[in-house]
Structure 1
Amino acid sequence: MKIAVYGATGMVGSQIVAEAAKRGHEVTAVSRGGRDVAGAASAAVAELGDTAAYRALAKENDVVVFSIPPSRTGESHQPFIDAHEEISETLVPARVFVVGGAGATEIDGVRLLNTPGFPEEYKPEARTMGEVLDFYTSASGLDWTMLAPAPVIAPGEPTGNIVLGNDSPAGDHVTTGDFAVAALDELEEPRHLHRRFTVASA
């Protein structure tokens, strides 16, 4: 399978690249600087909001993975939101796989960011990822999946023991290695087309 990974130099994206390469897939690492990433067969330069570049990558690959979080430095999230709205409305031959956020997952139908005790500093990102999810759930004709992590995601190797959930957190924490395993399992054997699911380390 040919897989393009946006955010391939990041904490999660680099693990997805490594896991995909380990399984024998041909990976293109997509970043703003076009940096080489361990395990990737090639590198490409693209901004999240560059629709022409996205269309080209979606024609050349079976899957396009978006592993890019919204800005965490106080900048406006609107360009990020606009980019995902455009992606969700652009029909492409590739499958779209989005790395989601834990704050937009739900407990008893209430998004985590709206539950008591949710940290204020994480609410802007959680709201943004909720908007992004809404774009995809409203999309028509696009093959997409979103995978959201547990509330705590941290660098770590695959444990060999993961738990999956639907819209609710599957557990308290997940390693980036376990997240990548769940992502590649889904890409190889799709079970969550047109929906979000969650993962945690057991």
Structure 2
Amino acid sequence: MKVLLFGASGNIGSAIAAELVSRGHQVTGVTRTGKLDNPAVQAVAGDVSDAAQVAELAEGHDLVASAVGPRIGIDNDREILVGATRGLIEGLQKAGGKRLVALGGAGSLRTPAGHRVVDDSHFPEMWKANALAQIEALGLYRETEGLDWTYISPAKLIEPGERTGTYRLSGEDLLVDEAGQCKISIPDYAVAFVDQIEGGEHLRTRVSVAY
């Protein structure tokens, strides 16, 4: 499969690219600079918020993936996330509605107590702008017609770690383990992400991933 991956230079994006390559897929990684450290990925420069560029870059690819995410506390979360979402939606509609798999956020997931993660009194203030922007982005996908998208929310805690190849999948609910924790390693999130690319059974919906 030929996959166009936006945000390929980030921690999560590079893990997704590596997982795709390990499974024999051809990956074109889009970054602002057009540079990547992985020689197995063809690097190109592009702006995900520019629908015309998205449409042009998508040509010749079987699927488009996005791992776009701002640097927390440094970048403008809403401008980046909502801008990327609008660019992807409009660009892929121009390109004939190619399938999209996108990195999402955990803020809108429903906790065991019945409220959203972002509404928890202990939710870190520095993450709120990101969470609210991700919620807005998910709303835009849900309003979109003519595009087969999948939005993949990670666990509350996603960090570097081992690739075990195991995870649990849910929908709107926050997945917690026996200790009440909700976490996933970046490599195992990448496994789940690529499984969705290859499987294609969760169309026009959000799924969540955790141990």
User: Do Structure 1 and Structure 2 share a fold, with TM-score over 0.5?
Assistant: yes
Match of 2:158, SS state, is: strand
Say if 1:83 and 1:13 are closer, same or farther in 2 by CA, change over 3 A: closer
Counterpart contact for 1:17–1:39, Cα < 8 Å: no
Alpha-carbon separation, structure 1, partners of 2:74 and 2:41: 34
Match of 2:107, SS state, is: helix
Alpha-carbon separation, structure 2, partners of 1:39 and 1:175: 24
Match of 1:103, SS state, is: coil
| Larger deviation, residues 105-114 vs 179-188 | 105-114
Determine the structure 1 residue equivalent to 2:192.
182
Determine the structure 2 residue equivalent to 1:192.
202
Alpha-carbon separation, structure 1, partners of 2:204 and 2:137: 13
The one-letter code matched in structure 1 to 2:101 is F
Match of 1:102, SS state, is: coil
Equivalent residue runs for 1:32-47 within 5 Å: 32-38=32-38, 40-47=40-47
Q: TM-score, normalised by structure 1?
A: 0.91
| Larger deviation, residues 171-180 vs 77-86 | 77-86
Which whole-Å deviations, capped at 9, do the CAs of 1:113-147 have from their partners, x for residues lacking one?
01232122211110000000000011101110010
Q: Which runs of 5+ in 1 are unaligned?
A: none
Alpha-carbon separation, structure 2, partners of 1:197 and 1:76: 25
Alpha-carbon separation, structure 1, partners of 2:75 and 2:168: 34
Alpha-carbon separation, structure 2, partners of 1:59 and 1:114: 40
Percent identical residues: 34
Q: How many residues align?
A: 201
Say if 1:41 and 1:117 are closer, same or farther in 2 by CA, change over 3 A: closer
Q: TM-score, normalised by structure 2?
A: 0.88
Counterpart contact for 2:78–2:130, Cα < 8 Å: no
Alpha-carbon separation, structure 2, partners of 1:41 and 1:12: 15
Which whole-Å deviations, capped at 9, do the CAs of 1:4-50 have from their partners, x for residues lacking one?
11111111000100000000000001100111342644111012212
Which whole-Å deviations, capped at 9, do the CAs of 1:62-117 have from their partners, x for residues lacking one?
11111111352454344322331343344134211110011122236632101232
Counterpart contact for 1:8–1:37, Cα < 8 Å: no
The one-letter code matched in structure 1 to 2:209 is V
Query: 4+ runs of 1 displaced by more than 6 Å?
Result: none
Match of 2:59, SS state, is: helix
The one-letter code matched in structure 2 to 1:58 is A
Equivalent residue runs for 1:88-99 within 5 Å: 88-90=89-91, 91=93, 92-93=95-96, 94-99=98-103
